Chains A and B, each alone.
Chain A
Amino acid sequence: AQSVTQLDSHVSVSEGTPVLLRCNYSSSYSPSLFWYVQHPNKGLQLLLKYTSAATLVKGINGFEAEFKKSETSFHLTKPSAHMSDAAEYFCVVSDTGFQKLVFGTGTRLLVSP
């Protein structure tokens, strides 16, 4: 069965410094991988998705993620954090052809001035 592991429950950065949120996945098939963000009292918003095209995926708000099959990883990065990036981030996997999304436990990103 497919699953994702988010290695950090909380990540704290200062504004203007790089962001790294780590995710490892397990999947029997060629996976589709997503990062979703959840701001307080808001729905889940898609940041980016990987669906077997380019391994480096660019998303909204300057985020990007690299699919590394050999490491079964899909880490999310951003060169320079902004205060508005403070939120909960979810790494998500969906096996090709299946509809359900399987969520990680989430990483809360804290950004300090």
Chain B
Amino acid sequence: EPEVTQTPSHQVTQMGQEVILRCVPISNHLYFYWYRQILGQKVEFLVSFYNNEISEKSEIFDDQFSVERPDGSNFTLKIRSTKLEDSAMYFCASSNTGGIDEQYFGPGTRLTVT
């Protein structure tokens, strides 16, 4: 069964450093998403991406964040200058048609900012 994969599973970085989280969505999917879950809190939407552009973003997704689909398979989330409060589990998801269609989630990348 096709699945969303994410690398790395755990990333430790120092405050102020740039990090790139990588995701490989399901191959025929067209809509891509990032969510995050701070320890002990709910899963929060960050951004959705379709047709090579951001279709929706949350207030969390400020100028420090960016997303990119650099080739036909990868989908990345970049944090330019990490803060302690960026420590969280980051989930990538993809869906075939967007809207009410099911989103398939990856296993997550745990980001720890020290």
Determine whether B12 belongs to the interface, using a CB cutoff of 8 Å to chain A. Answer: no
Q: Contact check, B31 vs A99: say whether CB atoms are below 8 A apart.
A: yes
Instruction: Knowing A49-B102, A90-B43 are in contact, say whether A98-B56 is a contact too (CB < 8 A).
Output: yes
In the complex, per-residue mask of A42-86: 1 if CB is within 8 Å of any chain B CB, else 0: 111110010100000000000000000000000000000000000
Q: Contact check, A100 vs B56: say whether CB atoms are below 8 A apart.
A: yes
Report the contact-size class of chain B (Cβ under 8 Å from the partner).
Answer: 20 to 34
Q: Contact check, A100 vs B33: say whether CB atoms are below 8 A apart.
A: yes
Interface SS of A by simple majority: loop
Which B residues, 63 to 103, have Cβ-Cβ distances below 8 Å to chain A? Answer: 91, 93, 95, 98-100, 102-103
Q: Contact check, A45 vs B105: say whether CB atoms are below 8 A apart.
A: yes
Give bound CA distance, A88 to B44, whole Å.
Answer: 16
- List 5 contacting pairs A-B, 8 Å CB cutoff, sorted by A: A41-B107, A43-B106, A45-B105, A97-B99, A101-B33
- Spell out B's residues near A (CB within 8 Å): 3-4, 31, 33, 35, 41-45, 48, 50, 55-56, 58, 91, 93, 95, 98-100, 102-108
